[in-house]
Structure 1
Amino acid sequence: MARTAAILVARLIFAGMFVMAASFKFLGMAGTAGYIASAGFPFPLVLAWIAAFFEVALALAFLTGVLFSEAALLAAAYVLFLAFAFHGPSHWQANQMEFGAFVDHFTFIAGLLFAAVHGPGDALVARRRRPIRLLA
């Protein structure tokens, strides 16, 4: 019972983080695009919209358990990208608080990798009726 509860709480935390991130993007898309542009990326508004919808998809995967391990791996790669792109070593000299933000991403990545290996648990998991076939 405690194991199931811990897994469900962890899934809610993962989903909550991505729901919050997506919400901030949807509520302030121009600001998000500006932040992306300030990091030197092209097409910042397009990237902001892609990021927001990607975060919604991740949240849904964590809430439903569908494609959970795959989503956790994609989320870990995404968070690693965010760590280096927006808080990496090039940002530390201007603001040492960026180092703390950078390191925090790695604790989140560790949890996502653990979740990817162990899966969504057995409770409150939507099951696919048919397996996904990549080759006919």
Structure 2
Amino acid sequence: MPVDAAALIARFLLACVFLPNGIMKLTDIPATAGYFAGLGLPAPLALAWAAGLFELIAGLCVVAGLQTRIAAVLLAAFCLIAGALGHAGQDGDDPALAFMHMQALLKDIGLAGGFLALALAGPGRFSIDVAWP
């Protein structure tokens, strides 16, 4: 039982990054698209919608324990890609900004590790995956 409760808490904590970010992206698509355009990414408007929906849906899947292993692997890949595109090499001339980007990149790498661990360990007993196999 303690392991299953810990798995539930871990799923919730991992999803805490993605649920609010997905909502923020979806409630301000122009700002998200502007950020993506500033990174030089193609089709920033479509990418803003896709990223927002992905973060929200995948985050909900992790919290609920629905298709947990698949969602965790996809979120691990998302973290690595987002970190590489949004934070790697974003140093500029401002040391404070460079520090912030390095911290964000390391956070993304750490989250990817957490999601891979979740994919390997599974969602625990308190999940839809276990309740309805």
Asked whether 1:84 is paired with 2:102, we answer: no
Paired with 1:17 and 1:104, the residues of 2 have a C-alpha distance of 10
Report the AA paired with residue 91 of structure 2.
Answer: W
Q: CA deviation at 1:128?
A: 4.6
Which residue of 92, 95, 98 maps to 1:96? Answer: 98
Paired with 2:41 and 2:128, the residues of 1 have a C-alpha distance of 37
2:45 alignment counterpart: 45
For structure 1, which runs of at least 5 residues remain unmatched after alignment?
Answer: 130-136
Paired with 1:101 and 1:55, the residues of 2 have a C-alpha distance of 17
- What is the root-mean-square deviation in Å for CA atoms of aligned residues? 1.5
Other structure's SS at 2:128 match: coil
Equivalent pair of 1:33/1:48 in contact (CA under 8 Å): yes
Q: CA deviation at 1:29?
A: 1.1
Equivalent pair of 1:80/1:109 in contact (CA under 8 Å): yes
Other structure's SS at 1:120 match: coil
2:13 alignment counterpart: 13
Q: CA deviation at 1:43?
A: 1.2
Q: CA deviation at 1:106?
A: 1.1
Q: CA deviation at 1:63?
A: 2.1
TM-score (norm 2): 0.88
1:123 alignment counterpart: 126
What is the aligned-residue identity percentage? 31
Higher relative contact order (CA 8 A, sep 6+): 2
Equivalent pair of 1:30/1:45 in contact (CA under 8 Å): yes
Q: CA deviation at 1:49?
A: 0.4
1:54 alignment counterpart: 54
Which residue of 109, 114, 125 maps to 1:111? Answer: 114
Paired with 1:106 and 1:53, the residues of 2 have a C-alpha distance of 21
Equivalent pair of 2:69/2:119 in contact (CA under 8 Å): yes
Report the AA paired with residue 2 of structure 1.
Answer: P
Other structure's SS at 1:96 match: helix
Q: Which piece of structure 1 moves more, 12-21 or 93-102?
A: 93-102
Paired with 2:83 and 2:125, the residues of 1 have a C-alpha distance of 32
Task: Give the number of aligned pairs.
Answer: 128
Equivalent pair of 1:66/1:128 in contact (CA under 8 Å): no
